[in-house]
Amino acid sequence: MAKNGIAGGALLIVGAVAFPIVYMVVAYPQIGIWVLMVMAYTLFLIMSIGIKFPFWHSNGRAAGTVILGFFIHQRNRPDWQGFERPNFWPYINLE
């Protein structure tokens, strides 16, 4: 903090919180879905207050991280039975 000031200290704290969350999202995709939902509602609330900033880029990155975690999880323990459920096929079968 002495070298970079408040911004350096804040970045250190955010990094200490962000890295474990990213690990949990990649390692456990179910947690990633919950993090994505909380993030989406929080970003919607922030944008409805009137703060103008492209927050949705971070939501897209979080969704990409969840998808990455899903494919890593499928590579280690393949289980594609969830895709055989009837409520999944309307989204895939676009004939």
State the pLDDT confidence band at 95, using cuts at 50, 70 and 90: very low
DSSP string, 13-51: HHHHHHHHHHHHHHH-HHHHHHHHHHHHHHHHHHHHHT-
Each residue's pLDDT tens digit, 80-90: 666 666 665 55
Mean pLDDT of 64-85: 77
Residue 68, pLDDT score: 86
Residue 33 contacts by C-beta under 8 Å, 6 or more apart in sequence? 66
Each residue's pLDDT tens digit, 8-35: 888 888 888 888 888 888 888 788 888 8
Q: Which residue range forms the structural domain that includes residue 57? A: 5-92
Tally of structural domains, the chain: 1
Q: Is the pTM of this model over 0.85?
A: no
